């Protein structure tokens, strides 16, 4: 394993020694369970295959209600035994709430979940008047907001589509713009190799442009640009810095138990399907942070430079900068770059801009109970090369 030591986090001399690109090994099990695993796999493959074909080839192109789409997606998740067992939302207390109708359609009406409630006042505690989480304004992503999600498994976009029906995007560490992709491409992205440069720059848009074009939609961003094993948060690309300063951004972290259904290494489709379909259950835990904004205050929807307008100063956050504007790209690790600026992915990032990225990264790490690491997309590209040579 010495050849892989370079792919453990070593930021600032005292690194965390976390290896975010190593595949998670499957917990050992007795050979007596092998016939059961084979039986589950054989039984589950046909319905998952045909439901997937029905959704991506037929349903996705028809003008059907979102409830129907969500129901089919949750059914696809239910067949392999993916249980949404825990949901935690910052600022909302633990309790119980009516389950979303989409979950009932998918057969989740009897699922024991940890949901949350909000008491209106302690004075009415005896009355125990609970409110649905969906009725509590500002705590969940809603149309016109952005989701900044961790990315560990093909199940991440499938879950997010089954709950929020967002517009998915792909981010690159070399540019602040994003590429709009479909749910199917977002799933395949979890199996694909990492990339620093976009294949077709003409398909790129800023977050602000995408928001203006789809004001009634949720936009989902994977700011790490590639998948990990869920044991660390990679440096974030600057795509979130082109978001409207008045748009809410919700960091979302999804974790799985066991973690062997994560896909930190590209490929291995068949092996992943075996792990997914041969086990009785998989537990999914979702964490949603308080919303934040792409501006210096982080917590209030003001325009950049709005407070300083009277002083004759302001900051423009939506100027696109890509790797061709900077000759220095070092794995997304922030370096000192002069007064008020740091050097990171996508070119120079101002200190106020870096605070936005740091806030999202810290929230994702806190939600996932992991640490931020200094290894970036370029490190993963090198890791994949070494890993494939070892496998030959």
Domain ranges of the chain: 2-116+131-296+364-391
Structure tokens at 103: 């979950």
The residues that bridge with 88 in the sheet, in sequence order, are 287
Burial 310-341 (b: 16+ CB within 10 A, else e): eeeeebebbebbbbeebeebebbbbeebeeee
Q: Is 231 exposed, middle or buried (0-12, 13-18, 19+ CB in 10 A)?
A: buried
State residue 282's pLDDT score.
94
For the chain, percent of residues with pLDDT exceeding 90? 59
Please report the pLDDT score of residue 133 as a whole number.
56
User: Is pLDDT of 372 > 60?
Assistant: yes
Q: What is the pLDDT of residue 29?
A: 79
* Distance (Å, whole) CA 179 – CA 337: 28
Pick left, alpha or beta for residue 340 (phi over 0 → left; psi -120 to 50 → alpha; otherwise beta): left
Name the token pair of 228: 């990990």
pLDDT of residue 118: 36
pLDDT at 268: 85
Who's near 66: CB < 8 A, 6+ residues apart?
A: 165
Give tens-digit pLDDT for 171-186.
999 999 999 999 999 9
Rounded to an integer, what distance in angstroms lies between the CA atom of residue 145 and that of residue 325? 30
Is the pLDDT confidence value at 322 over 60?
no
pLDDT band at 306 (very low <50, low <70, confident <90, very high): low
Q: What is the pLDDT of residue 326?
A: 43
Supply the mean pLDDT for the chain: 80
The stretch 283-291 carries a mean pLDDT of 94
Average pLDDT over residues 319-344: 44
Residue partners of 236: CB distance under 8 A and separation at least 6: 223, 224, 332, 345, 357, 360, 361
Given a cut of 50, whether residue 116 has pLDDT beyond it is no
As a whole number of angstroms, the distance between CA 377 and CA 357 comes to 16
d(CA 119, CA 162): 28
pLDDT tens for each residue of 23-74: 998 888 788 889 999 999 999 999 999 999 999 999 999 999 999 999 999 9
328 pLDDT above the threshold of 70: no
User: Tokens standing for 63?
Assistant: 């003008």
Q: Which pLDDT belongs to residue 57?
A: 95
Q: Which two tokens stand for residue 298?
A: 């982080």
- 152-156, 218-222, 243-247, 309-313, range with the lowest pLDDT: 309-313
Instruction: Give the closest residue to 203 by CA, choosing from 229, 228, 185.
Output: 185
DSSP H stretches of helix in 278-376: 351-368
On the question of pLDDT at 320 being above 50, the answer is no
| Range 241-256 average pLDDT | 95
The per-residue pLDDT for range 130-151, each reduced to its tens digit, is 455 555 567 899 999 999 999 9
């Amino acid at each position: 394993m010495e050849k892989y030591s370079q792919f453990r986090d070593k930021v600032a001399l005292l690194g965390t020694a976390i290896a975010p690109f190593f595949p998670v090994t499957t917990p050992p099990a007795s050979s007596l369970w092998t016939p059961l695993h084979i039986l589950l796999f054989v039984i589950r493959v046909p319905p998952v295959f045909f439901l997937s074909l029905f959704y991506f080839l037929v349903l996705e192109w028809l003008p059907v209600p979102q409830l129907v789409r969500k129901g089919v997606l949750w059914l696809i998740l239910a067949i392999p035994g993916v249980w949404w067992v825990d949901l935690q939302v910052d600022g909302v207390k633990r309790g119980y709430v009516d389950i979303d109708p989409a979950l009932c359609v998918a057969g989740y009406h009897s699922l024991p979940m940890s949901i949350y409630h909000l008491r209106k006042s302690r004075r009415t505690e005896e009355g125990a008047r609970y409110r649905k989480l969906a009725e509590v304004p500002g705590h969940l992503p809603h149309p016109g907001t952005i989701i900044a999600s961790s990315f560990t498994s093909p199940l991440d976009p499938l879950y997010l589509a089954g709950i929020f029906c967002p517009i998915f995007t792909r981010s690159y560490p070399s540019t602040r713009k994003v590429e709009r992709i479909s749910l199917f491409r977002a799933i395949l992205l979890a199996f694909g190799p990492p990339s620093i440069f976009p294949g077709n720059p003409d398909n790129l848009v800023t977050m602000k442009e995408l928001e203006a074009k789809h004001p009634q939609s949720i936009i989902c961003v994977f700011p790490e640009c590639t998948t990990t094993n869920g044991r660390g948060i990679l440096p974030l690309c600057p795509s979130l810095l082109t978001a409207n300063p008045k748009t809410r951004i919700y960091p979302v972290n999804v974790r799985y138990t066991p973690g062997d259904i994560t896909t930190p290494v590209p490929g291995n489709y068949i092996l992943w399907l075996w792990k997914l379909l041969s086990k009785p259950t998989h537990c999914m835990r979702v964490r949603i942070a308080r919303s934040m904004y792409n501006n210096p205050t982080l917590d209030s929807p003001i325009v950049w430079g709005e407070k300083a307008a009277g002083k004759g100063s302001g900051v423009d956050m939506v100027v696109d900068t890509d790797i061709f504007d900077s000759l220095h790209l070092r794995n997304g690790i922030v370096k000192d770059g002069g007064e008020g600026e740091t050097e990171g992915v996508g070119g120079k990032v101002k200190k106020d801009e870096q605070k936005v990225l740091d806030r999202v990264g810290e929230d994702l790490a806190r939600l996932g109970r992991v640490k931020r690491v200094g290894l970036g997309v370029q490190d993963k590209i090198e890791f994949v090369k070494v890993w494939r040579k070892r496998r030959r």
